[in-house]
A and B are shown apart, each in its own frame.
Chain A
Amino acid sequence: MSYLPFFVVAWILGVGLYGIVTSRHLVHQIICLIVVQSSTYVLLLGVGYVTGAVAPYFYDIPLHTPAVDPVVQALALTDVVVEAAVTALLLAFAIQAHKRFGTLDPHELVELKG
């Protein structure tokens, strides 16, 4: 168990990149980019976890109860917002590209070459 989450992180990163590289559809490629980014959430929350500790909310539990790291959770939240922002922008590019090229296959979206 001790390193399982980190192996999962590496696996998610690997399949995400594989999806990007073999993709024939831009929207598919964007979704694979989301998968690549999801590996960072698992990694962030994985490194900040403490066995047997509670979530860092002290509303109804006493202070000084051992809690997991709140900082990585804040970082992961920022990360989620970044993901949403980048995805929205990429989708806008894809929609316009489809209008101009008539296809979403990255192999045919080549105006610039060489």
Chain B
Amino acid sequence: MTPAVPGALAAAAPLAAVTPYTVQPALMETLQVLLLILVAAGATVVALTRVPVRQAVALSAYGLLLAVLFLAFQAPDVTLSELVVGAVALPVLLLLALARVRRREK
């Protein structure tokens, strides 16, 4: 369904062949399946944890899992962002907000 890619651009087709720079496909696939299942479970835990403080901690762990999954998806750039934002910055913001809210409830 894609338009024909003529001339110089055509060579870049997906390869199944293993290059010296990749992990063994079978190993990689196992890793990805494992991580995907962990991520799905992690999302469920985060969404169903009802106590916000615990949820913020769960979110941090979920961010870490996502970061590792993105590494397995060959996206180191996104891994780094997810690590600094999802696993660190957002939980910090959430905990700060919760601290504010809890202080008032005392």
Contact = CB atoms under 8 A, between A and B. Distances in A.
Nearest to B90: A87
Given A4-B33, A27-B94, A84 B78 contact: no
Contacts of B50: 24-25, 28
B47 A16 contact: yes
A18 B43 CA distance: 11
A67 B76 CA distance: 13
Determine chain A's interface SS by DSSP, over half rule.
Answer: helix
B59 A31 contact: yes
Determine chain B's interface SS by DSSP, over half rule.
Answer: helix
A83 to B, nearest CB: 7
B75 A55 contact: yes
B97 A94 contact: yes
A41 B81 CA distance: 12
Contacts of A56: 74
Nearest to B80: A77
What class of interface size applies to chain A in its complex with B? 35 or more
B66 A41 contact: yes
Given A4-B33, A5-B36, A104-B101, A57 B14 contact: no
A50 B78 contact: no
16 contacts: A1-B33, A8-B39, A11-B44, A24-B50, A28-B50, A45-B70, A52-B16, A52-B17, A52-B25, A53-B14, A66-B15, A68-B75, A73-B77, A77-B78, A83-B90, A98-B100
Interface of A: 1, 4-5, 8, 11-12, 15-16, 18-19, 24-25, 27-28, 30-32, 34-35, 38-39, 41-42, 45-46, 49-57, 61, 64-68, 73, 76-77, 80-81, 83-84, 87-88, 91, 94-95, 98-99, 102, 104
